[in-house]
Amino acid sequence: MIIGSVSENKEIEKRIAITPDSLKKYTNIGFKVILEKNYGNHLGFEDQDYKKEGCELVDRAEVIDKSDIILQLNLLDDEALKKLKQNQTLIGVFNVYENEEKLKNLSLKKINIFSLELLPRITRAQSMDILSSQANLAGYKAVVDSFSNFEKAIPMMMTAAGTVPAAKVLVVGAGVAGLQAIATAKRMGAIVYATDVRTASKEQVESLGGKFLTVQGSENLETKDGYAKEASDDFKKKQEELLGQTLKKIDIVICTALIPGKKAPLIIKENMLNNMQKGSIIYDLAAVQGGNTAFTEVDKIIEKNGVKIMGERNILNRLPTSSSNLYAKNVFNFVSNLYDKEKKKININLEDEIITNTIIK
């Protein structure tokens, strides 16, 4: 069988689905790999690096035409989608809520589509969990970028001229990105607070040295799959009061709160921003889904009342090599689970929870 991948629109997506290291793994289990010419050049992966591992570099149209399985980050452009044929398999992160109609049309053409953000949170799927591997890096990078824009020192410093106090950081949402943000901020010497609608997060936050802010009378708002679910109006009111008081002493806020398939919850409102210290920074990782903060704009730094609000469409474009290496490993593990090595073909076993959760029907 032939596995292929074509270049993404690099203005939107710099990550790639196949690295030279992962290519070697595909050829070892019997795949032939073809890629678009100059596929990884922008990350320092030259065509020659791929050719050494037995890869063929061809034109984009040839990859689309010849590949049995096509691996991507985002959904292919409309021109490429029209050229897909029956029984081809497309694997990536296809944002099923935004691209529902396109994906259904492809499924009707009997093209096998797997969207990896739908992976179940089970032990067997951990090595394929693209949300965790990518969110981990996003949480780290959000802290680093926030600190680089903050005009004070982060750790406490005791000098002959006096003491510089440690910066105070609040992380909103203690999922994978939030926990990495807590760990990164703590390593750099900040005092870290965190809040989450899932009460199970408290132990994880405290194990990393953070202080968990508990909403009085809160319930555990966690789905059976481990994701946050929408809070009640009563919870939101209590959370707003707690955050309003906390934000008065916070220097840097990292927002990571998302509900799959829905607009990001608005957590930091205009009146809260007005009470924050001038020079404070907010990094909104939920920007592309509407933002957790009033005034968040994608790919802009907005300043309100002396507070800078940051949010990017794709923060991982700023760590494309690290994120590509992890993504490529996740995807290989998914393909390995899908591939019957003896029969040398994919096996869509609908009794496999991993397959039934990710396939688009």
Q: What does the pLDDT average to over 352-360? A: 95
- Structure tokens that stand for 58 in this block: 């061809």
Catalytic: 121? Answer: yes
Domain positions in the chain: 2-118+320-358, 132-317
Marked catalytic residue, from 5, 88, 115, 132: 132
Round to whole Å and give the CA distance between 316 and 134. 8
Catalytic residue among 59, 126, 187, 245: 126
313 belongs to the catalytic site: no
What does the pLDDT look like over 59-69, one tens digit per residue?
999 999 999 99
**CB distance 194 to 139 below 8 Å:** no
Q: What's the CA gap between 93 and 17, in Å, rounded? A: 11
Per-residue DSSP letter, 193:
E
Residues 196/258, Cβ–Cβ less than 8 Å: no
Where would I find the beta strands (DSSP E) of 28-153?
Answer: 32-36, 56-58, 69-71, 89-92, 112-115
240: left (phi over 0), alpha (psi -120 to 50) or beta: alpha
What span, in angstroms and rounded, lies between the C-alpha atoms of 350 and 356? 5
Write out pLDDT tens, residues 209-268: 999 998 765 555 556 655 555 667 777 788 888 999 999 999 999 999 988 778 899 999
Q: State mean pLDDT over 123-140.
A: 96
Q: Are 2-118+320-358 and 132-317 in the same CATH fold? A: yes
What's the chain's average pLDDT?
92
Residue keyed to tokens 């921003």: 273
CB 31 within 8 A of CB 63: no
Please tell me the pTM assigned to this model: 0.90
Q: What is the largest CA-CA distance in the chain?
A: 73
The per-residue pLDDT for 260 is 73
Q: At what angle do helices 130-149 and 320-338 cross, to 10 degrees?
A: 170
Instruction: Determine whether domain 2-118+320-358 maps to CATH 3.40.50.720.
Output: yes
CA nearest to 149, candidates 38, 300, 31: 300
Q: What is the pLDDT of residue 209?
A: 96
Q: Which one from 21, 49, 121, 318 is the annotated catalytic residue? A: 121
* Residue percentage of the chain with pLDDT more than 70: 96
CATH entry 3.40.50.720 includes domain 132-317 = yes
pLDDT digits (tens, 9 = 90+) for 71-87: 999 999 999 999 999 99
Q: List the catalytic residue out of 50, 129, 280, 339.
A: 129
CA distance 350 to 282: 44
**Whole-angstrom Cα distance, residue 327 to residue 344?**
24
Strand pairing of 211-212 and 281-284? unpaired
In whole angstroms, how far apart are CA 109 and each of 64, 89, 210? Answer: 15, 11, 50
pLDDT at 181 over 80: yes
* The amino acid at 113: I
Measured in residues, the chain has a length of: 361
Other Cβ atoms within 10 Å of 136 Cβ, number: 20
23 pLDDT exceeds 80? yes
First-to-last C-alpha distance (Å) of the chain: 23
Sequence-separated (6 or more) residues with CB below 8 Å from residue 241: none
Instruction: Identify the pLDDT of residue 125.
Output: 95
- Say whether 126 is catalytic: yes
**pLDDT tens profile 289-338:** 999 999 999 999 999 999 999 999 999 999 999 999 999 999 999 999 99
